[in-house]
Amino acid sequence: MKQSAREEEWADWLRLAIKGDVQAYNRFLVAVTPHLRRMARRRCDQYGAPASEAEDVVQEVLLAIHLKRGTWDPARPLGPWLTTIVRNKLVDSLRRRGRQVSVPIDDVSDFLEAGDETHEAADRLDTETMLAQLRDPQRDIVRSISIEGAGIRETAARLKMTEGAVRVALHRALKSLAALYRSD
């Protein structure tokens, strides 16, 4: 596959992110999401599934990218890695929701080329329901960071924890969220 300019840009961001660059990682995730959403919507429309379900699929794919980003070899192109993980997780997620699907690879690799589309994010599993299923320090940390918009340091100070402990708990919380989607 030819490396598009977008793919190179995303690869640069993810390379920086793996080393701990928060801003670069945010740019990467914000850039990828609309493309995931378009793919998920297209699949869900095909089966008459509501847009909220597509949004759950988007979140599940995002979590897979997040939790498995350590398997990308930064010396290699990002495209094949990203398209494979997205396709696998899309199929997996849709199938678990009872939709027999196959997602052609071209459909997925297109998103490295296609234009941006932004949509409103409509979610099905509301935040409180989800938070209720997390254990204690994780729940407070998730609430503090995602809803109140605090950083790691601020959250650590607020909860009287060390920054390291907050990081560990946050990582576990994201793993738990991924498991929640899987058990849905």
Partner 1 sequence: MKTDDLITLMTQDAPVGLRYGRALAIALVAGVAVSGVLLVITVGLRHNMASVFETARVLFKIVVTIALAVLAARLAMRIGRPGEALRLPALLLGLPALLVGAAVAAELAVLPQATWKANMVGGNALFCLFFIPVLSLAPLAGLFWALKQGAPENPTAAGAAAGLAAGAIAAAIYAWHCPDDSPLFLAAWYTIAIGVVTGAGALLGRRWLRW
Cβ 56 to partner 1 shortest distance, Å:
10
- Which residue bears the tokens 């495209």? 79
Task: Show the CA angle centred on residue 68, arms to residues 62 and 102, nearest 5°.
Answer: 60
Report whether 54 contacts 37 (CB < 8 A): yes
**Positions in 113-172 near partner 1 (CB under 8 A):** 121, 123, 125-127, 130, 142, 145-147, 149, 151-152, 167, 170-171
Report whether 14 contacts 72 (CB < 8 A): yes
Residue 70: burial class (beta carbons within 10 Å; 0-12, 13-18, 19+): exposed
CA 144 to chain centre: 19
**Positions in 53-82 near partner 1 (CB under 8 A):** 55, 58-59, 62-64, 66-73, 79-82
84 in contact with partner 1 (CB under 8 A):
yes
Q: Binding residues for partner 1, per CB under 8 A?
A: 17-22, 24-26, 29-30, 33, 37, 55, 58-59, 62-64, 66-73, 79-85, 88, 121, 123, 125-127, 130, 142, 145-147, 149, 151-152, 167, 170-171, 173-174, 177
